[in-house]
Amino acid sequence: MQTVTLIPGDGIGPEITEAVVKILKEAGAEIEWDIQEAGADVSEKEGSPLPQRVIESIKRNKTALKAPVTTPIGKGFRSVNVALRKELDLYANLRPCKNIEGIKTRFDNVDIVIVRENTEDLYAGIERKIDENTAESIKIITRHASKRIAKFAFDYAVKNNRKMVTAVSKANICKLSDGLFLECTKEIAKNYPDIEYREILVDNLCMQLVQNPEKFDVLVLPNLYGDIVSDLCAGLIGGLGVAQGANIGIDAAVFEPVHGSAPDIKGQNKANPTALLLSAIEMLKHINQQDIALKIEKALYKTIKDGNILTPDLGGISSTKEFTTEIIKNLK
């Protein structure tokens, strides 16, 4: 039995968490959940959306499954997600984007893995108002973070039988910062002669992704480009409802969907739990429960391929609960 931190989040978080926990239980996953609430409601009660107990729980268990948490727009409220990644030094954001049979999309051969640097770039949050009409935001790129994310991308490629890593930048404009990022990816690439190494500018990448996504394999990107390109790639495979993710560090890993708390459909029993379920499947592989992971993967893919019971975002008319019940039925 493995203890895993579970953050049900807010918005649609609790609904999709309930679905995923039920599916994992029915599949026989050997997990004891350490449930830790975080987010806006907690902030009112405990003074912080991310109390120290949540961090301590993840440090203790080393693995967490996290549903989305709302970050109110405005001053003085640090994003729980950015804070969590920083506190635990979860430096690699891994987002595999692969077509799922049964989901109609423009392309049917997308199989891209995004490796996004998670700790610096414009997300360092160093901003200031110079005067009433001018603001500046500082983009931080370091050799240390760039080399370790490049190494992560190449190691992932080797481990997962991938053939090519493409480093993404805007080094023609950000000559020093993105230039340093590319200097590091190039240097690391030399240690992996069996993996093809390429470079591309982020604007050109976006155009090519919506024309020929099959040309790409593993992409390694600084934080901001990684954030934007992740959503683009989620769109290529059927939208946010099916886009999974993971934040990985040396000592801990937090598995979570790409999407947010979707306040527009909260409490309506129509959220798609697939992205959280795919994240949970990756988590099961991470904690060496591969058999259970594959069993759930098969049931999920069968449910989607059959196409009879689907949530509205996938073109269906079924509820979160009906979709969950169908997956459980397909586990047998």
- 304 near ligand NAI, rule: CB under 6 A: no
List the one residue from 171, 265, 283, 327 that touches ligand NAI (CB under 6 A). 265
- 86 near ligand NAI, rule: CB under 6 A: no
Q: Is 34 helix (H, G, I), strand (E, B) or coil?
A: strand
Q: Rounded to the nearest whole angstrom, what is the least distance from the CB of residue 31 to ligand NAI in the complex?
A: 21
Smaller CB distance to ligand NAI: residue 69 or 202?
69
- 275 near ligand NAI, rule: CB under 6 A: yes
- 262 near ligand NAI, rule: CB under 6 A: yes
204 near 226, Cβ under 8 Å?
A: no
The residue number whose beta carbon is nearest to ligand NAI equals 260
> Any idea which residue has 């593993």 for tokens?
218
- 259 near ligand NAI, rule: CB under 6 A: yes
Strand partners, 117: 92
- 165 near ligand NAI, rule: CB under 6 A: no
List the one residue from 223, 261, 279, 289 that touches ligand NAI (CB under 6 A). 261
Q: Rounded to the nearest whole angstrom, what is the least distance from the CB of residue 247 to ligand NAI in the complex?
A: 9
Q: Write the CB contacts of 11 (distance below 8 Å, at least 6 apart in sequence).
A: 68, 70, 260, 261, 262, 263, 266
- 71 near ligand NAI, rule: CB under 6 A: yes
Q: Write the CB contacts of 306 (distance below 8 Å, at least 6 apart in sequence).
A: 102
Site for ligand NAI in 223-252 (CB under 6 A): 240-241
What count of other Cβ atoms lies within 10 Å of the Cβ of residue 317?
10
Largest CA distance in the chain: 64
| Only segment of 17-25, 89-97, 132-140, 267-275 that touches ligand NAI (CB under 6 A) | 267-275
- 313 near ligand NAI, rule: CB under 6 A: yes
- 280 near ligand NAI, rule: CB under 6 A: no
- 119 near ligand NAI, rule: CB under 6 A: no
List the one residue from 38, 55, 64, 68 that touches ligand NAI (CB under 6 A). 68
Q: Provide the CB-side half-sphere exposure for 116 (13 A, CA).
A: 27
> Count residues contacting ligand NAI (CB under 6 A)?
20
Nearest to 12, CA basis, from 54, 79, 72, 67:
67
- 8 near ligand NAI, rule: CB under 6 A: no
Judging by beta carbons within 10 Å of its beta carbon (0-12, 13-18, 19+), is residue 322 exposed, middle or buried? middle
Q: Rounded to the nearest whole angstrom, what is the least distance from the CB of residue 73 to ligand NAI in the complex?
A: 7
Virtual torsion, Cα 321, 323, 329, 330, nearest 10 deg: -150
Strand 92-98, strand 111-117: pairing: antiparallel
Question: What does the binding site for ligand NAI look like in residue numbers (CB under 6 A)?
Answer: 12, 68-71, 81, 240-241, 256, 259-265, 271-272, 275, 313
